């Protein structure tokens, strides 16, 4: 590991652990951690709520811990514009009067010929990230080798390497080399995407099994009962049976004749 990068990591760790986390974040423009000397960078304190009382600070290798505007940088509102020289390498952060602080970033100012353009701020899982190997402030037209944690991972003829969708496994120390030289190492931080809790789907109840219910039996049609009054019954019989009527009349007459004959014989 490059000792410059190691010291920067150690400084940033000490700064992060010595102060309390606050409601501010540090912005870096352009967003990269390596610069050539005499390049410029703009640092800004993005504070939630009131921004008053927040100051831009840095801690260099020499142990110089100071505010923007005293020995370095030009304050402009909540930002600090810095013209970089090799002694500007160090850890930068925002700090409030009560000791709260933002995230810290490492900035390396390289006096050599080659630097690696890699993001100074954390990148989110799934984002597309491009690393560029730069020579004397311009994109290198030379073939560049890209290393992660000391191992060669890719060779690109364009001088840049793109990771279409970064993941947590892409986090680590990166550097590049070409025919002009070698860049310092820089740490790329990858933050995980926090997904909302998955809603538990409401189970769909199985379809109800139809129950065969025995419906009451349909009654058979009742046999119609012929209801008729006695006088109407007699009339029907008499009208419908003329032979029966005639028979009755003859029987009556016969009975009368026989009775009269019996009476004559007795006399």
E strand residue ranges, 88-244: 90-95, 100-101, 105-110, 114-117, 123-124, 129-135, 138-139, 144-148, 151-156, 160-163, 172-178, 181-182, 186-188, 190-191
Q: What is the pLDDT along the chain (267 residues), one digit of tens a residue?
A: 554 544 444 444 444 444 444 578 999 999 999 999 999 999 999 887 665 678 999 999 888 899 999 889 999 988 999 999 999 999 999 998 888 889 999 999 999 999 999 999 999 999 999 999 999 866 656 899 999 999 999 999 999 999 999 999 999 999 999 999 999 999 999 999 887 776 556 666 666 554 444 444 444 444 444 444 444 444 444 444 444 444 455 555 555 655 555 554 555
> What pLDDT does residue 201 have?
62
CATH for 1-111, among 2.60.40.10, 2.60.410.10, 3.40.50.300, 2.60.120.10? 2.60.40.10
> What pLDDT does residue 78 have?
83
Report the chain's terminal Cα–Cα distance, integer Å. Answer: 173
User: Which tokens go with 167?
Assistant: 């993941």
| Cα gap 87→6, rounded to integer Å | 16
> What pLDDT does residue 263 have?
54
> What pLDDT does residue 49 have?
66
CATH 2.60.40.10 range(s) for the chain read 1-111, 113-192
Q: Which CATH architecture has domain 113-192?
A: Sandwich (2.60)
> What pLDDT does residue 226 have?
40
Contact residues for 162 (Cβ-Cβ < 8 A; gap 6+): 128, 129, 130, 131
User: Quick one: DSSP state of residue 137?
Assistant: T
- Beta carbons within 10 angstroms of residue 95's beta carbon: 22
Contact residues for 119 (Cβ-Cβ < 8 A; gap 6+): 31, 32, 33, 129, 188
> What pLDDT does residue 31 have?
97
Residue 180 backbone zone (phi > 0: left; psi -120 to 50: alpha; other: beta): alpha
> What pLDDT does residue 62 have?
80
- Beta carbons within 10 angstroms of residue 149's beta carbon: 12
Angle between helices 230-240 and 242-266 (to 10 degrees): 90
């Amino acid at each position: 590991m490059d000792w410059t990068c190691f010291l920067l990591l150690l400084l940033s760790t000490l700064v992060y652990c010595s102060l309390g986390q606050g409601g501010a974040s540090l912005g870096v423009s352009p967003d990269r951690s390596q610069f050539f000397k005499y390049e410029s960078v703009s640092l800004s304190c993005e504070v939630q709520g009131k921004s008053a009382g927040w100051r831009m600070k840095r801690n260099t290798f020499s142990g110089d811990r100071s505010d923007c505007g005293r020995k370095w940088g030009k304050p402009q509102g909540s930002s600090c514009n810095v013209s970089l020289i090799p002694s500007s390498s160090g850890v930068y952060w925002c700090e409030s009067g009560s000791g709260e602080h933002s995230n810290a970033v490492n900035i390396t100012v390289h006096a050599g010929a080659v630097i690696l353009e890699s993001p100074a701020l954390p990148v989110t899982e799934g984002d597309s990230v491009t690393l560029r190997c730069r020579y004397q402030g311009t994109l290198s037209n030379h073939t560049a080798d890209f290393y992660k944690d000391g191992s060669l991972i890719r060779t690109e003829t364009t001088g840049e390497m793109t990771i279409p969708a970064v993941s947590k496994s892409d986090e680590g120390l990166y550097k590049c080399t070409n025919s002009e030289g070698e860049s310092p190492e820089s740490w790329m931080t990858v933050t995980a995407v926090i997904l909302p809790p998955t809603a538990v789907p409401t189970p769909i109840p199985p379809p109800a099994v139809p129950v065969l219910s025995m419906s009451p039996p349909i009654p058979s049609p009742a046999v119609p009962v012929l209801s008729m009054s006695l006088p109407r019954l007699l009339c029907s019989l008499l009208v419908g049976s003329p032979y029966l009527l005639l028979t009755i009349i003859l029987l009556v007459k016969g009975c009368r004749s026989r009775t009269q004959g019996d009476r004559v014989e007795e006399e």
